[in-house]
Structure 1
Amino acid sequence: MNQDDDFSLFSQAVRGVRRIQDDRADTGKPRADRQQLANRRQNATQRSDTLRVDGLSDQFVIDVGAEDELHWARDGVQDGQMRKLKAGQIAFEGSLDLHGMTVEKARETLWEFLAEAAKLEVRCVRVTHGKAARLDGKRPLIKSHVNTWLRQHPQVLGFTSCLPRHGGTGALYVLLKRTMLDGRDE
């Protein structure tokens, strides 16, 4: 076998093959920027008290009556804890009165109050929303909004209407998550 035979065999084997125009290899997906990944991780693990008021939506407000007793607990919160809360056996360490505020002012004030309570690792607070019927005859505005907002707030484990001596159906005991000192909640 001579060199011409080798060349013709090779030519036959590569018939129909096109020459590659680009002389750079495709090495696949570019590697992630480590600094960008670190920034994303940092942003994802920030404490919830850095969130702003826009986390509380008014899109679906649950209308409640002036004398309606409110009660709600996040999944996983023990029934015994909620019974103690309802019975006033968990002392509230802070209190907020939203009487006479506009809805927007009440939302902002509530958000700041809960952020401060979370920072201080407070276990329970009282929020007085009132229960006055509105001039247009509709249900209480602030009470309905507070009922909706507290269900959305990441620090709230549950809430229930207060005992009569603490405001009855015009106020709520709110059970909060404590993040810094693990092992004390749920």
Structure 2
Amino acid sequence: MPDDDLSLFAQQMQGVRRIHVDQADVGKAKPNRAVQQMNRKNALQSSASELVVDGLSDQFVLDVGAEDALYWARDGVQDSQLRRLKAGQIAFEGSLDLHGMTVEKARATLREFIEEALRLEVRCVRVTHGKAARLDGKKPMIKSHVNTWLRQHEKVLGFTSCVPRHGGTGALYVLLKRHMLEGRDEY
């Protein structure tokens, strides 16, 4: 190299320190097969033992048809309240749409939605589950699961299919139990 280039190079390299590592990084380490197999085995065991998630079980699902109107009430709920609910005369203060979700995602979303409604002291909500008939000829999956889950939730007083303008047999009005707040009467 000419002196110009050497001095220019030396000038550019001022303050640079030499790296004294002589090993190259060749990427990720190979996975340990024994650890992988143990992790898979543990995952299978834990998922098989979890039949109930947040109290909403799938051990027994009540299959319902796509056009079936749903109606259920907990013992002690007044018939007049359920008639008003069925007629769409109790305003819903929140709405949830479960279309396109997997069963697990729908379960978690429904649980979170109900817990939030209870926290806010909401009396009635609408849950849209859809009524998609499956290609294999079986009953609608999300609708059947929602029908089962709501019956299991201790804070659900009752539910009924909506009037057509609010989704008909593809949605439910859900009546929730509230805590007594000052100035509010429990129905």
Give the TM-score taking structure 2 as reference length. Answer: 0.70
Distance in 1 between residues matched to 2:87 and 2:68, nearest whole Å: 17
Distance in 2 between residues matched to 1:132 and 1:156, nearest whole Å: 24
Distance in 2 between residues matched to 1:148 and 1:68, nearest whole Å: 14
Aligned residue number for residue 162 of structure 2: 162
Distance in 2 between residues matched to 1:105 and 1:85, nearest whole Å: 27
Q: Deviations over 1:36-57 (max 9, x none)?
A: xxxxxxxxxxxxxxxx943000
Count of residue pairs brought into register by the alignment: 135
- 3-state DSSP of counterpart to 2:75: coil
- 3-state DSSP of counterpart to 1:83: helix
- 3-state DSSP of counterpart to 2:54: helix
Aligned residue number for residue 152 of structure 2: 152
Q: Which runs of 4+ in 1 moved over 6 A?
A: none
Aligned residue number for residue 186 of structure 2: 185
Superposition pairs of residues 1-186 of structure 1, within 5 angstroms: 53-181=53-181, 184-186=185-187
Tell me the CA shift for residue 135 of structure 1.
1.7
Tell me the CA shift for residue 136 of structure 1.
1.2
Q: Deviations over 1:69-118 (max 9, x none)?
A: 00000000000000000000000000000000000000000000000000
Distance in 2 between residues matched to 1:160 and 1:120, nearest whole Å: 22
Give the TM-score taking structure 1 as reference length. Answer: 0.70
Aligned-residue Cα RMSD (Å) equals 1.4
Q: Are the counterparts in 2 of residues 53 and 111 from structure 1 also a CA contact under 8 Å? A: no
Between the two proteins, what is the percent identity of the paired residues?
A: 82
Aligned residue number for residue 20 of structure 2: none
Q: Are the counterparts in 1 of residues 158 and 174 from structure 2 also a CA contact under 8 Å? A: yes
For structure 1, which runs of at least 5 residues remain unmatched after alignment?
Answer: 1-51
Distance in 2 between residues matched to 1:53 and 1:83, nearest whole Å: 32
Tell me the CA shift for residue 180 of structure 1.
4.3
Q: Are the counterparts in 2 of residues 178 and 184 from structure 1 also a CA contact under 8 Å? A: no
Q: Are the counterparts in 1 of residues 180 and 186 from structure 2 also a CA contact under 8 Å? A: no
- 3-state DSSP of counterpart to 1:137: coil
Aligned residue number for residue 46 of structure 1: none
- 3-state DSSP of counterpart to 1:96: strand
Q: Deviations over 1:151-180 (max 9, x none)?
A: 000110000000000000000000000014
- 3-state DSSP of counterpart to 1:158: strand
- 3-state DSSP of counterpart to 1:122: coil
Distance in 1 between residues matched to 2:69 and 2:185, nearest whole Å: 28
Distance in 1 between residues matched to 2:186 and 2:64, nearest whole Å: 29
For structure 2, which runs of at least 5 residues remain unmatched after alignment?
Answer: 1-51
Aligned residue number for residue 7 of structure 1: none
